[in-house]
Structure 1
């Protein structure tokens, strides 16, 4: 076959037909043509990858699978213009099935490196292979974590990542039945000096947990039941947090913090084998303090709280050493930082009372913004926060704002003492622009949603990532209602946000190579945030705004967009894997710099990476390119492009 004939085949084969002719002409010059005779195998199940994609010119191929008994079954047929071998050419694993020639066969062979170049360069083409790319990223991600010793990144010496749950759990567990009375069980708890009892059903399976907290809250504080007649089943906590005895203590710590639990039920094949408490974990540590929820909540002044806050980095060390998934690192670290923030706010309110300011004059809500609100914070970053408060009586407007100005000052200083640096852009509640009454916020949102001023669009973009953490949460909900109304009424804001994001170019060249900084302190490096993860955050945010999703986290938004059918399951998996991969690189690089005494940042030298790491980074960036293309196609408004 000559090059013109190969070009004709490529122009008819899906998904190559979507590429420009000049691109296919270049590809045709690199494409090999092979003949195969009937009853021969192109590759067999379990054999190594041939590193190429097969496109059928003519003939017929049977895709077969052989079971454990050696019986071969035909599972698919491939004809002219079909392709096969796509899973393995992407993953580079062994073939899961065989390709047997049924009729005389002619194939065009696309080499893996040429296919990868097309995937990384043309987002519309990569969309066809999104599921395969996501699978490869997950596979490479696990391989990189398995190979990574983390000696450079983490210095945790705690046995949390050396000991297993079985080594410290209490194997003789005190239990009771669902039908037992709480008075009888309370006597057992008092005699044994324990704070919780595991509740079993008739089949000896754990059904719930009865704690001192359950007894006090439901029988004394709220008096929901008569104490003398109440059974355990009525007041027990049925939302058990379970873990296996083979898990590491670090994984137990992650489970406790993530689920806000103080007890873990240890089970094996659904049978109760032990229990582990937060106290057990505390006793098991070798150095330093663990930043635990009760430690934070027990602090009565900022000095003690700021001392505890510095131990957050030890938890991050442990999570990384445990090779914890990125989304779990986000969840645990953000939850700890949020608890710190809530305690600072509480102590600040108390100080206002002690110094003569009294309690808040009207209800208010404190909101976090940025990475903290998105639950994507690991190392403590700069502050991004705001206050929304109920509209006061007109004559009290000045006095109310004066109160919240003072409260904001105390809170911001408290955050600063706990390691959260003040925002250089002054996006903090101490700034009147970020401290408003509800009606003032509504007015500001309406004005900015119709504005072409870049500063107004920036303010609106920042506000789109917020999470209420203290006070009257309904005020935050009303703010979202107004944001959605304003966005629906006017397309300007969404268009301007989309346009703002499209100005940043991805660091992959036309030839599929990394585009790095040409000069300066970051020469030969790329910014993983500005050139990668920020695009995913921005793009998913735009989709969330359009579809009235108030959840601020990128993973959470992506899940809801998939559930609503806005983004396909394949695309959601691809974008999620891309985001997780980029954040993995960011976390590791920033931890490495911090341990070396350098300022954490988001730059990386891509050419210093191992082969697998370069591959997965390119895959992740191709996901960003595909998402950007999808956003531009969906949200760009032609008549607004002149602005």
Structure 2
């Protein structure tokens, strides 16, 4: 049964036997959208003296009401005169929003139409961006689909390396800027100085202002493509702790953005909440911030934001909290005796964290001489335990499987970690395939980034060696979970507390696993499933059509999962889990899920043939 068939079942028909004012702007309640089957709608705005403005005539297959719903309005945006004999079919608001959320092209049709209409000053005047506009689906779409090129970024003001501090400060004053970039002799930007730099590194330390500006400048330089989205720039700033981003276009820096400027562009966006997380100090405060995250997620999904972006927001908040905890513990127990990296694995490593989350992390520290090994290891195990305990107190519960840095198995030197990876590849047994898959999804969180680079360079060498047996086991591991379909292609459920439920996590796992297998085979080290898919498509492993099928399937399931967990926390007042009650799904959602599970099944057949040489797996 197709989605269109289910949509048709939700339609109600109405015939206008005479000319009728069907909707009056800002007065008539809007229950859904109207599709003209035959006849005519005249749409217009009444002005202050009841003249009709911007009158338009529409016939079949025109749809009325979509813009109003996506602007989160309960009343009609425009007035409508339905002509005698007009027949319409109405689709309820909820089903319309479900179609928008599950079919991006359908949604984009309305957002594009709105954008074009807002170019008309008269239309824009009558729409009068409502007070709740920032809560609307279209506002969210504009916010999260807006590129850096769409805003005015600041020109780069710079000086040469070797410039005295006082001259650099005068240059800033003359140009009325709070950030000055420093260039080397080859015109490469190597650092920057701000008002804060001058306060902290010069005035507070009573540094001679005849010294060169490069002796007190800040770095490293962080840049972003002019084609990147605004929300990506905000998240990058929080992850890199930089206040300024250089904008890169065609290999050159063409301007820069400040964090304050970007946050002002976000208005009331939940992204601004991340800034408040950065300001929290105590474990209790951090716990309060994490407890508010379900509300943030509810807002994002309620505005129609893509689940991939929602995942990134959760991950950025979780990262910010974990980093605060790590820095707090280091202050408590003293500086580490060796360079190290604190990495996250599993869903957190893939930047696909949900609201039911546990700790998945590990520590790699640099190799030290024999006489220091025990002392170094003792420090990091104590450090890991303290970090783990505080994260648990905040709300990131201990991992039941023990995949945490506080487990001595997962805190080791770099050489030990290299042996781990080599053993998992060479000694191909099911248990090792699971461990390898878990730690292939590792991501840098804190410390010396070069250590994790060295580990991945080692992995790159190992994966180039012929090892069909390894990929056979990895392929089989990716086939552990089958799409939950019955023999008759209905949704397979399980019973919990007398309710028929779908385990949404298990339903998503096959996509994560199969994409990981192809990423391994092609030595792609992006951690995120969506990013891996994009890279594989660029390499020609997947076609554009296959990419769209997998991408949309995965993030549709993710949106359902996040929405269910947010409702469990905020409405049902229970601990979040991965079970969705079937009776809470609409007919459209059920049909969409069945189509998604068929798609997953088809891709799993490809895994069976390519990696296990066995159609039966």
Give the alignment's TM-score, normalised by structure 2: 0.62
Match status 1:504 vs 2:505: no
Aligned pair 1:441/2:410, yes or no?
no
Alignment of 1:346-425 (within 5 A): 346-353=327-334, 359-379=335-355, 381-425=357-401
**Per-residue deviation, 1:626:** 2.0
Q: Which residue of 2 aligns with 1:317?
A: 298
1:332 counterpart = 2:316: no
- Give 1:371 deviation, angstroms: 1.0
SS at match of 1:526: strand
Partner of 2:135: 161
Q: How does 1:507-546 map to 2 (within 5 A)?
A: 507-517=484-494, 519-521=495-497, 523-530=499-506, 532-546=507-521
C-alpha displacement at 1:557, in angstroms?
A: 0.7
Contact 1:522/1:603, CA 8 A, preserved across alignment:
no
Task: Identify if the C-alpha distance between structure 1 residues 241 and 324 changes in structure 2 by more than 3 Å, giving closer, same or farther.
Answer: farther
Aligned residue in 1 for 2:118: none
Aligned match of 2:93: none
- How many residue pairs end up in the alignment? 455
Q: Distance in 2 between matches of 1:371 and 1:307?
A: 22
Does the Cα contact within 8 Å between 1:329 and 1:378 map onto a contact in 2?
Answer: no
Deviation of 1:482 after TM superposition, in Å, equals 3.3
- Separation (CA, whole Å) in 2 of partners of 1:427 and 1:177: 46
What per-residue deviation string (whole Å, max 9, x for no partner) do you get for residues 443-486 of structure 1? 22222223354333222221111101111222212222333444
Q: Deviations over 1:303-344 (max 9, x none)?
A: 443343333334323322322111111122211211221221
The answer to whether the 8 A contact 2:421-2:459 is kept is: yes
SS in structure 2 of the partner of residue 429 of structure 1: coil
RCO (CA 8 Å, sep 6+): is it higher in 1 or 2? 1
Deviation at 1:389, TM superposition (A): 1.1
For 1:61-84, what per-residue CA distance to the aligned partner results, in whole angstroms no more than 9, with x for missing partners? xxxxxxxxxxxxxxxxxxxxxxxx
Q: Which residue of 1 aligns with 2:146?
A: none
Mapped to 2, the partners of 1:334 and 1:543 lie a distance apart of 24
Alignment partner of 1:592 is 2:567? yes
User: Cα deviation per residue 1:560-581 (whole Å; 9 max; x = unaligned)?
Assistant: 1111122222211211111111
**Structure 2 CA distance, aligned partners of 1:562 and 1:462?**
23
Change (3 A) 1:441 1:335: same
- The alpha-carbon deviation at position 414 of structure 1 amounts to 2.2
Equivalence for 2:594: 618
SS in 1 for 2:483: coil
Q: Give the corresponding residue for 1:426.
A: 402
Cα 1:47–1:603 change in 2 (3 A) is same
Residues 550 and 214 (structure 1 numbering): CA distance in 2 closer, same or farther, change over 3 Å? Answer: farther
Go from structure 1 to structure 2 and tell me whether the alpha carbon gap of 1:489 and 1:610 turns closer, same or farther (over 3 Å shift). same
Residue 256 (structure 1) aligned with residue 234 (structure 2): yes
Match of residue 117 from structure 2: none
SS at match of 2:298: helix
Residue from 245, 270, 292 that aligns with 2:274: 292
SS at match of 2:309: helix
Distance 1:521 1:456 in 2: 35
Structure 1 pair 284/523, CA: closer, same or farther in 2 (3 Å)? closer
CA distance in structure 1 between the partners assigned to 2:370 and 2:578 by the alignment: 47
- Indicate which of 528, 538, 541 corresponds to 1:553: 528
1:255-312 deviations in Å (ceiling 9; x for gaps): 63465487999xxxxxxxxx97477589969xx996333x344444434433433333
SS at match of 2:387: helix
1:12-411 pair list within 5 angstroms: 137-139=103-105, 161=135, 186-187=172-173, 212=195, 256-257=234-235, 260=238, 277=261, 291-293=273-275, 295-353=276-334, 359-379=335-355, 381-411=357-387
Contact 2:287 2:393 in 1 (8 A): yes
Question: Which has the larger displacement, 504-513 or 557-566?
Answer: 504-513
**Is the 1:262–1:277 Cα contact (8 Å) retained in structure 2?**
no
Structure 2 residue aligned with 1:69: none
Distance 1:447 1:550, change over 3 A: same
Query: Is residue 491 of structure 1 aligned with residue 451 of structure 2?
Result: no
**Greater Rg by CA:** 1
Contact kept? 2:297, 2:562, Cα under 8 Å: no
8 Å contact from structure 2 (residues 609, 615) kept in 1: no
- In the alignment, what sits opposite 1:248? none
Q: Deviations over 1:53-111 (max 9, x none)?
A: xxxxxxxxxxxxxxxxxxxxxxxxxxxxxxxxxxxxxxxxxxxxxxxxxxxxxxxxxxx
Contact 2:172 2:178 in 1 (8 A): no
CA contact (8 A) 2:297 2:566 kept: no
Once residues 621 and 639 of structure 1 are traced to their aligned partners in structure 2, the CA distance between those partners, rounded to angstroms, is 18
Q: 1:579 to 1:503 in 2, by over 3 A?
A: same
Offset of residue 227 of structure 1: 8.6
In the alignment, the residues of structure 1 paired with residue 578 and residue 442 of structure 2 have an alpha-carbon distance, to the nearest angstrom, of 23
Range with greater deviation from structure 2 (370-379 or 486-495): 486-495
Contact preservation (8 Å) 1:296, 1:343: no
Pick closer, same or farther for the CA change 1:437–1:276 going to 2, 3 Å: closer
CA-based RMSD? 5.0
For structure 1, list consecutive stretches of 5 or more residues without a partner in the other structure: 1-45, 49-132, 146-156, 167-172, 198-208, 229-234, 244-250, 266-274, 354-358
Contact kept in structure 2, 1:364 and 1:471, CA below 8 Å: yes
Deviation at 1:242, TM superposition (A): 10
The DSSP-based 3-state class of the residue aligned with 2:542 is coil
**Counterpart residue number, 1:119:** none
- Conserved 8 A contact 2:482-2:601: no
5+ long unaligned stretches in structure 2: 1-34, 38-98, 112-130, 143-151, 160-166, 181-191, 214-219, 247-258
